[in-house]
Chain A
């Protein structure tokens, strides 16, 4: 069965430090991978996606993600965290031949001033 895991419920990072939010997946074939962010009392916003090509994908607000096929991971990264990056982050996976989308449980990111 397809699944997405975000192993950390919460990540704390000091402002200015690099951040990583982890995501691993279990999907046969070549899945499509997405990251979304949810700010308090708001809907989710798209950050970036991996479909094919370069393993390093750049997205909104200075975020990037690295696709690693051998480790079935798609970790979200940012070189220098901002307090305004504090939010709930969701990884999602979609199988190319299946319209269903599966979201991870989310990781709450706290950027400490």
Chain B
């Protein structure tokens, strides 16, 4: 158990809908990362937050957005969902300090299925 929690574990929805994925980082960690894992794209970095502020952006679509709240939990919002958005979405956290040096601790993931 990494200490990173993600809810829900599974999510089934329809095209055009909007969903919110939630992540709670390990106690004391300030950085939160979001990833999308699919069979054809592999593991794609989406976005990173550090202590409430956006730190880095990867291959995140405009239909997707994220935020990190004062209690450090984070939410990833996916809207106007398409079939191709079906994937595993992982959240990870890393300790405070120079985040670029640190390993990340991954949550168990949320499996999103868009029908």
Residue positions of A touching B, CB distance < 8 A: 32, 34, 36, 41-46, 49, 51, 90, 94-96, 98-106
Contact = CB atoms under 8 A, between A and B. Distances in A.
B92 interface: yes
A94 B100 CA distance: 7
Interface residues of B, number: 25
Contact of A46 (B35, B103, B108): B103
B42 A103 contact: yes
Interface of B: 2, 4, 33, 35, 42-45, 48, 55-58, 90, 92, 99-101, 103-109
Contact of B106 (A44, A51, A100): A44
Nearest to A42: B108
B90 A43 contact: yes
A99 B55 contact: yes
Contact of A103 (B43, B100, B105, B108): B43
